[in-house]
Copies of this chain bind each other. A is one copy, B any other.
Amino acid sequence: MPVETIAWTGQSVRIIDQTLLPIEVKYLDIGDIETLREAIKSLRVRGAPAIGIAAALGCYLGVRRSAAGDFASFRAELKRVCDYIGSARPTAVNLFWALERIQALADRMSDRPIEQIKHAILNEALDMIEEDHRICRAIGRHGAELLRDGMSILTHCNAGGLATAGYGTALAPVFYAAEQGRRIHVYADETRPLLQGARLTAWECREAGIPVTLISDNMAATVMAQGKVQAVFVGTDRTAANGDVANKIGTLGVAVLAHEFRIPFYVAAPLSSIDMSLESGEQIPIEERNPDEVTHPFGRQIAPDGIEVYNPAFDVTPHRYVTAIITERGIVRPPFTEGLRRVFDEANTRRSL
């Protein structure tokens, strides 16, 4: 991973401002939840795992100076902080997963001094960073089994190190395989409207020494038809219990094309991004964003004034297009409802041991 996406400085949350990459490498030290929420909302920090961690650290920022005298009022304050941060973006489940984890921790400590709870919240958030490193590594190790020397893969958006605290989800198998000496070539969809593929994936691969070719999103079909890629790897913002995958807008198109051209379509999904409470992808809320992202990329007008725009930030890929889901606990293949249930059961069993 070329940079540290998110870290705790001891006083504040340090993030790399991803809206400026790759033109400018600028770090922001964030000490309040208003700035943190804005950073999540405007994608200065983005990627499901990374915003989960940002949210957890945000909980600490939000309560660290709390003057609450008893648990009930502290808990109410924490809830307000969580609701506020949680309203930044609706689709990525990691945001809510992290906020719930922090609140559950607080609830378990209801009989402890407030200062001790505050301290535990920070530690929990820092644990998530460490965990994320291990999870990315495990996804990389499992996913690398799908990569042979000399293969080319297509990826969409950025599910690399910049989307996590570790070295990514969808790109982790590529980085892992490269460490093992396998040569893997990445085709990166530019990923309109916010161009995370062009700006982040292309940059991150190059910094890591991975050969990368940038294409416009609408070139993916040709790249597949010409046999230039042998697999697709993407991340996910929320995957339902049946394996339906919400991910950056354009993922559905890539999945359908991969299906048509008989190219395996793999989703790298830490368990924290799998929402077992949702039966299917139809229940995943899809964020719609500002039309300006489409009409004024980087402040340059490319469409007529006031034109109507449809700008969903995510789409849902039905599980029938998904070849396998790569989790930190192994590769899950269809039928996903059973496979994902089994992985969660095993994870819970291990945790309770």
Please state if A315 and B206 are interface contacts (CB–CB under 8 Å): no
Is A87 on the interface with B (CB-CB < 8 A)? Answer: no
Residues of B within 8 A of A78 (CB): none
Interface of A is mostly: mixed
Residues of B within 8 A of A202 (CB): 303-304, 307
Please state if A206 and B304 are interface contacts (CB–CB under 8 Å): yes
Interface residues of A in 297-320 (CB under 8 A from B): 297-304, 307-312, 315-316
Please state if A250 and B218 are interface contacts (CB–CB under 8 Å): yes
Please state if B198 and A218 are interface contacts (CB–CB under 8 Å): no
Is A294 on the interface with B (CB-CB < 8 A)? Answer: yes
Q: How far is the CA of A219 from the CA of B303 in the complex (A)?
A: 16
Please state if B219 and A249 are interface contacts (CB–CB under 8 Å): yes
Is A223 on the interface with B (CB-CB < 8 A)? Answer: yes
Is A353 on the interface with B (CB-CB < 8 A)? Answer: no
Please state if B294 and A215 are interface contacts (CB–CB under 8 Å): yes
Check A190/B192 contact, CB under 8 A, given A253-B253, A253-B257, A303-B199: yes
Residues of B within 8 A of A221 (CB): 250, 252-253, 256, 315
**Measuring CB to CB, which residues of chain A are less than 8 angstroms from any residue of chain B?**
22-23, 156, 187, 189-193, 195, 198-199, 202-203, 206, 211-223, 225, 228, 249-250, 252-253, 256-257, 259-260, 294-295, 297-304, 307-312, 315-316
Please give me the 5 A-B residue pairs with the lowest Cβ-Cβ distance, nearest first: A218-B250, A221-B253, A192-B216, A217-B218, A221-B252
